[in-house]
Amino acid sequence: MKIDTQKNSHMYWNPYFGGFLLGIIILFTFYMTGRGLGASGAMKSGVVALVDTVTPSHAEKNAYYSKFISEDDSPLNTWLVFEAIGVLIGAFLSGGLSGRIGWRTQHSPKITRKRRLVFALGGGILFGLGAQIARGCTSGAALSGMAVLSTGGFITMFAIFGTGFLVAYFFRKNWI
């Protein structure tokens, strides 16, 4: 079987170098903002702004949403929202410059495209619920927590990877 080297030869960064840069960025973020990185805060701000736009009376009466609503300022006016927008722009720039943007679904020959998308959606929903319960996503709870040597950060990271390792056994035949 011949592999088309033109189509499949992409230069990727060394993952250790990428991890090193991520660590530097987390430390820089602590220095500049006094807190770590996180994406779930931007999602929360987006949901609050959407609910406040669609049903302002409900948002004002709701104990959760009302904490983030102000007459003077939009819930979207936070650095976490701009961080998330920057990540999306950076991802599209990176993908565009390396020729990796396209409509495709990567999956094993053992499962269908539809099943792969259902699993991805289900996993995303579970991860979002977990982030809400944990009051933060993996980057906020685990990476930023570990950056300040928080015991909770290390426990979170072990729980995430440990659970992934245990659950992967039951789903491995979908990818192997």
Rounded to whole angstroms, the Cα distance separating 5 from 125 reads 36
Buried b (16+ CB within 10 A) or exposed e, 17-51: eeeeeeeeebeebeeeeeebbbbbbbbbbeebbeb
- Considering the entire predicted model, what is its pTM? 0.65
Q: Is the pLDDT of residue 51 over 90?
A: yes
Mean pLDDT lowest among 73-77, 95-99, 125-129, 170-174: 170-174
| Contact between 36 and 148 (Cβ < 8 Å) | yes
Domain layout of the chain by residue ranges: 1-102, 105-176
Burial degree of 1 (CB within 10 A; 0-12, 13-18, 19+): exposed
**Tens-place pLDDT, residues 71-124:** 888 889 888 889 889 989 998 998 888 888 888 887 777 888 898 899 889 988
